[in-house]
Every structure is written in C-alpha cells, then in structure tokens.
C-alpha cells in the first residue's frame, strides 16, 4: 500500500513538473484524439489528446468521434495543458475549451476510450474521472458502446500491423513469394542467354552457382524427386544426381 501511494505521488509530481500551457485556435481536427492549433505567434502545433484513445480511421465510430470533437472546438480558442511530446512529435495534453476538459467529454460521450495504459501520466483525480466517465458511457450505451464488444483502437492497431492492407497476408508469408517472383524471371533470362555455355560437358563454378540459385527459387533440390516431375516443376530429363562431370540440363 505504501509503495502504491508512493508511485501515485511520484507520478503526480512528474506530471506537474513537466506541465506547460499553450494557447491557440484549432485549425484542424484530424480524428477523435488529434488536432492542430495555431498559436498567437502564427506557429502550428499538432496536439494529441492525453488520456484517451479514439477509434482509428477504418474503425466503427471513427468519423462520428472526429465530428463530435470538431463540434466542440473547430475554429475555437483552446488551452492545451501538455506534459510531453509523443513519438510523432505531437504535444500530448489536456485540451480545455469553454471551461470543459474536452478529452473527458470525448470519453463521456462514448467517442473514445479511457487510455488505461497511460493512466500513470495523469493526475490521480483525473484518472478517476476518466474511468468513471467511461463506465457511465458504457452502461448508457453511448456512442461506440452501442456496438457489441467494440474493439479498442490499441488492439485494432496491433492486428493491422500484422496484416498487409491489400491481400491480408502477413509480411512473413508474402516475402518468399515476392523474392521468388522477382528473381526467377531474371535467372530464366540469364540462363536462356547463357544456355550454350551451360550445356557443355564441363561446368564452371559460375555456371554451377547460377544453376543452384535457379533450383533454390524453383523449390527443387540437387536431386529431383518423382513428385517434382509429376507436377511439372522439373523436366524428367533433369531427374537424377547432378555431378560436375555430367551436369543436368537446366530448365529454361
């Protein structure tokens, strides 16, 4: 208990020590938790609303979350009580407008999750408010909570990182196919141009290397099996043990 209280006090002091205020007019609302403001010195600043996580583009309620935020603060003067820059260089903080905590209003309306993973960066009183607001929205089935088991954006991002946008295949699954597809046509062209020298009775180290690379990308070993012949991957003439004295004919 003492250790937990110490951690809370430490985190509160840490947030307070790094807090700073920035005022400006909202010139863009990117999504339900990201905006752009222009300060009095005409500089623009990208802001990430702290303590919340709104649906990502492509998720249900992404557009409604952005619209709800825009209705509050688009072209309005706001104060940003920020405490850090995130990995993208955005100022992370609480946006205040009309005396309201706009971050909290997004959670209360069911347009964003309370971002529990970063609760340690909030003041303890704020963390309790955000947790209660999310629970209230969940019970009332407001916004995204009207859906059955809505997916938190951090889980959605993790799943999207494991998928390719077009085919849905993972990078690991597609990489060998891409490599083979890119290399085999080139090797086929080289082998076709060099076929007179490859079909000699004496195989040079360079010719052996080209032939072995070709077989690697065609999925054939140095000893072709009956299954390869049956499926047409390797001609019957090339089946058998390859030796330096009697090289097999390379399929072209």
The one catalytic residue in 48, 66, 108, 211 is 48
Show the low-confidence residues of the chain (pLDDT under 50): 1-17, 166-181, 183, 190, 197-201, 220-231, 233-252
Q: What are phi and psi of 172, to 5 degrees?
A: -65, -40
pLDDT in tens, 53-95: 999 999 999 999 999 999 999 999 999 999 999 999 999 999 9
- Give the active site residue among 25, 38, 56, 160: 56
Within the chain, what is the greatest distance between any pair of CA atoms? 89
Would you tell me the crossing angle of helices 205-217 and 171-193 to the nearest 10 degrees? 140
Taking the C-alpha atoms of residue 81 and residue 12, their distance in angstroms, rounded to an integer, is 14
Q: Specify whether 90 is catalytic.
A: yes
46 labelled catalytic? no
Determine the pLDDT at residue 227. Answer: 44
According to the model, what pLDDT value does residue 252 have? 38
SS3 sequence, 99-134? CEEHHHHHHHCCCCEECHHHHHHCCHHHHHHHHHHH
Q: How far is CA 155 from the centre of its chain?
A: 11
* Given the residues 90, 108, 134, 211, the one annotated as active site: 90
The reported pLDDT for the residue numbered 169 is 45
The pLDDT value recorded for residue 60 is: 95
Please tell me the pTM assigned to this model. Answer: 0.61
Catalytic, 222? Answer no
Residues 163, 117, 17, CA angle at the centre, nearest 5°? 130
């Amino acid at each position: 208990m003492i250790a937990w209280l110490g951690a809370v006090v430490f985190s509160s002091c840490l947030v307070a020590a790094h807090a700073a205020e920035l005022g400006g007019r909202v010139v863009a609302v990117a999504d339900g938790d990201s905006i752009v403001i222009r300060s009095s010195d005409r500089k623009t600043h990208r802001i990430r609303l702290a303590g919340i996580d709104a649906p990502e583009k492509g998720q249900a309620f992404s557009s409604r979350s952005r619209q709800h935020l825009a209705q509050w603060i688009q072209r309005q003067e706001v104060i940003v009580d920020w405490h850090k820059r995130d990995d993208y260089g955005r100022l992370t903080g609480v946006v205040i407008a009309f005396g309201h905590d706009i971050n909290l209003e997004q959670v209360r309306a069911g347009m964003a999750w309370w971002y529990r993973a970063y609760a340690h960066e909030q003041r303890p009183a704020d963390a309790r408010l955000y947790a209660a607001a999310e629970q209230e929205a969940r019970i009332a089935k407001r916004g995204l909570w009207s859906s059955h088991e809505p997916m938190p954006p951090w889980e959605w991002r993790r799943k999207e990182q494991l998928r390719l946008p077009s085919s849905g295949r993972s990078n690991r699954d597609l990489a060998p196919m891409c490599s083979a597809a890119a290399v085999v046509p080139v090797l086929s062209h080289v082998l076709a141009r060099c076929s007179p020298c490859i079909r000699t009775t004496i195989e040079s180290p360079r010719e052996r290397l080209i032939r072995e690379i070709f077989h690697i990308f065609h999925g054939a070993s140095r000893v072709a099996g009956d299954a390869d012949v049956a499926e047409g991957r390797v001609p019957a003439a090339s089946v058998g043990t390859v030796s330096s004295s009697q090289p097999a004919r390379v399929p072209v």
